[in-house]
A and B are shown apart, each in its own frame.
Chain A
Amino acid sequence: MVERAPILDMICHAILIAGAMLVCVPLYFAFVAGSLTIAEVQKVPLPWLPGDQFFANLQTAWVKADFSRSFLNSIVVALGITAGKIVVSLLSAFAITYFRFRYRMLAFWLIFMSLMLPIEVRIVPTFEAVANAALPLQWLADMLHVADLWKWISGHDVAIALEWNMVNTYPGLILPLIASATATFLFRQFFLTVPDELCEAARLDGASPLRFFWSILLPLSVSNIVALAIILFLFGWNQYLWPLLFTTDKDMATAVIALKNLIPRSDSEPAWNIAMSGALLAMLPPMLVILLLQRWFLKGLVDSSK
């Protein structure tokens, strides 16, 4: 601080308290609504103090949205996306910084281009791709007239119909989301700051590239990996569009999607107390993550956008 300005400081505290209120008021009302009975929650105006139905509502919401199943799905998907993105981008960052090969820059630009298009803009074709991941192979087969070729060689008439449907599977939920330009660049930037002497020394001791990666580069990257993992976990847990399209089966719904079924529509009973309990439950895991791992979270948030 450059000078004392008590009045300005007071104003600043007031601004920050207002900001904190802005964040907390919706959460507080969710908590209040979640602790009322259905009759109380429809009273106008809503009471300012919580009622005594909090845990009962949590239980109802848990059962009604089948959270025991969807939490499991969310955890699998979020961890899968996190682990997948980190592994895939660590490997490719290692390849483009530590090897000199002909299409190095091509690989770099291919990965970079994927930064440009969020999945939302190409949902229909991506859906097709995942609904039948073998489709490109099918085109290839059609294009090369493999069937005709086979007929010519063996005299048998065959129709090639390849299908690999990933709808309602974990791979379908995870794979399309794990290609990550951001994570690759984060690791690339970090690898560029690793002292050259380490690699030289490892080479001198006869370490293979993979050995160097595993024993030297990976341990050095731990803090970056942890910070990024937190951001990616939040990203995975909070996914909406993709699970929405991809989970026609209720058993594959993630927590956020399952919550959607609890929101009262105009033609149903306005059970806002259950909906708010469900919302609190579904936001709890990511909330705990950023509260408990705050320092790492901040590092990850700022790093991953550089």
Chain B
Amino acid sequence: MKASAPIATSPIWPEAPADPPSGLARSQHKSPGETAAGRSAVTERASKARTPKRGQPDREPGLKRANFGRGAGLPTLLLLPQVLILVFFFFIPSLRALTQSVLLSDPFGTTVHFVWFDNFKALFASGEYRQSLVTTAWFTVAQNVITLAIAVVLAFATDRVVRARSVYRTLILLPYAIAPAIAGILWAFLFNPVVGPLAHMLHALGISWDPNRNPNDALWLVIMAASWKHICYDYIFLVVGLLAVPVSLMEAAAVDGAGPIRRFFLIALPMLGPTIFFLAVMNFIYGFFETFAIIDAVTHGGPAGATNILVYKVFVDGFINLDLGSSAAQSVLLMTFALICTLLQFRYFEHKVNYGV
């Protein structure tokens, strides 16, 4: 590196002009003080030219060592679109939900009363809401277990086979492209009690199947559709994770006499622990929120509220029954849940570092 370029190596840039004229003129600009500091930095750098750049401790996390200095004008402009959208469509609505959840208003919004936590109390007192809670719990847990179990088995098999691996992977990943609503419609047809081919098989086996009338059947139908749509997501993360398990470890275990299945359960799976944890959280988020489309396209929350999961109830109470206070209170409870999920995801990041997979 030439000594004629001292500024380039000083760790913190001098005040960056917001809009300097382009051209080479800038590199000529230097003050005596900077030059001295710069030169010492040059010699320091030259002496350890091949060492990694980690020499300087980061003074601010997530900031480039070579940055554009302290000017606040340009970064503000750059951040403006994101922040404006967040304020309008995220922070203000969230605040509205919080305030509405402690208010009671009639459907036309003419009278508004401040009612403290009555909306929440009413929610927990209502059998409908408790039923919705139980339904959601069943729905998400069943969906989670089915999705993960199938994905783990498929990922294990994918890791073993050599021939046609990419063909299998492509096919199994296909549902990712399919909208939840469409996945729901496909399964609604397969299990339609009148024309559905799979429903016909069930009937032939002597099982009375009718998701339009039987609450349990309806719940299973949406669980199947939701799992079918989501297996691909868990699957690809597990496949990628398995690739990262050190081969030497597997070989050592094999030499010690552990068979492939035992190795999978005792080595690969524990090393994938953080990934599986992450996937479980993602499955819960998916089950709680994104499955709205499946419910709306297939069962409309029925029959008899059997598939009325929480997020669907927020929608029905807010937009159809126009019970804004109750809907907002439910929104707030859901937000709390989403918050917990995000914090759990944070823990995943920590674990990820510890395990190194």
On A, residues with C-beta under 8 Å from B are: 1-3, 5, 8-9, 11-13, 15-17, 19-20, 22-27, 29-30, 33, 41-42, 44-46, 87-89, 91-92, 94-102, 104-105, 107-108, 110-111, 114-118, 120-130, 133, 135-136, 175-176, 178-179, 184, 188, 191-192, 194-197, 199-201, 203-212, 234, 237-238, 240-241, 244-245, 256, 259-260, 263, 266, 270, 272, 275-276, 279, 282-283, 286-287, 289-291, 294, 297-298, 301-302, 305
Contacts and interface: CB of A to CB of B under 8 A. Distances in A.
List 8 tightest A-B contacts by C-beta distance, closest first. A206-B26, A240-B293, A238-B179, A125-B93, A125-B96, A12-B157, A95-B78, A196-B66
19 contacts: A12-B157, A19-B150, A24-B171, A27-B186, A33-B189, A41-B195, A98-B64, A100-B70, A101-B75, A104-B63, A124-B327, A125-B92, A125-B97, A129-B89, A179-B82, A205-B26, A234-B177, A286-B177, A290-B173
A102 B263 CA distance: 52
B228 interface: yes
A287 B174 contact: yes
Interface in B232-260: 232-233, 236-237, 240, 247, 250-251, 254, 259-260
Q: Which of B18, B25, B85 has the most CB of A within 10 A?
A: B85
Interface in B170-202: 170-183, 185-190, 192, 194-197, 200
B161 A16 contact: yes
Q: Is the interface of B mostly helix, strand, loop or mixed?
A: helix
A203 B228 contact: no
B133 to A, nearest CB: 15
Contacts of B280: none
Interface in B273-293: 278, 282, 285, 289-290, 292-293
B36 interface: no
A256 B179 contact: yes
A222 B92 CA distance: 34
B145 interface: no
A199 B67 contact: yes
B288 to A, nearest CB: 8
Contact of A23 (B13, B27, B175, B334): B175
B311 interface: yes
Nearest to B27: A204
A206 B228 CA distance: 55
Given A15-B157, A99-B74, A208-B19, 18 more contacts: A29-B186, A29-B190, A46-B197, A87-B81, A88-B85, A91-B78, A104-B60, A122-B97, A179-B90, A199-B67, A205-B24, A208-B20, A234-B176, A238-B179, A260-B297, A270-B195, A283-B178, A301-B176
Contacts of A19: 150, 153-154, 157, 168, 171-172
Contacts of A209: 16, 18, 68, 74
Contact of B311 (A88, A114, A121, A197): A121
A142 to B, nearest CB: 15
Given A199-B67, A200-B8, A302-B240, A117 B171 contact: no
A290 B174 contact: yes
Nearest to A255: B179
Contact of A120 (B170, B178, B311): B311
Contacts of A205: 24, 26-27
Interface stretch (B111-119, B134-142, B314-322): B314-322
B161 A13 contact: yes
A33 B197 CA distance: 10
Interface string B140-154: 000000000010011
Given A5-B260, A15-B157, A111-B82, A100 B195 contact: no
A110 B22 contact: no
Contacts of B187: 26
Contact of A91 (B81, B97, B285): B81
Contacts of B13: 203
B83 interface: yes
A1 B175 CA distance: 29
Nearest to A20: B171
B223 interface: no
Nearest to B100: A125
A180 to B, nearest CB: 8
B48 interface: no
A8 B86 contact: no
Given A29-B197, A110-B86, A122-B94, A206 B22 contact: yes
A102 to B, nearest CB: 7
Given A19-B150, A203-B8, A270-B194, A129 B88 contact: yes
Contacts of A99: 67-72, 74-75, 78
Given A126-B93, A203-B7, A272 B85 contact: no
Contacts of B33: none
Contacts of B97: 122, 124-125
A240 B121 CA distance: 31
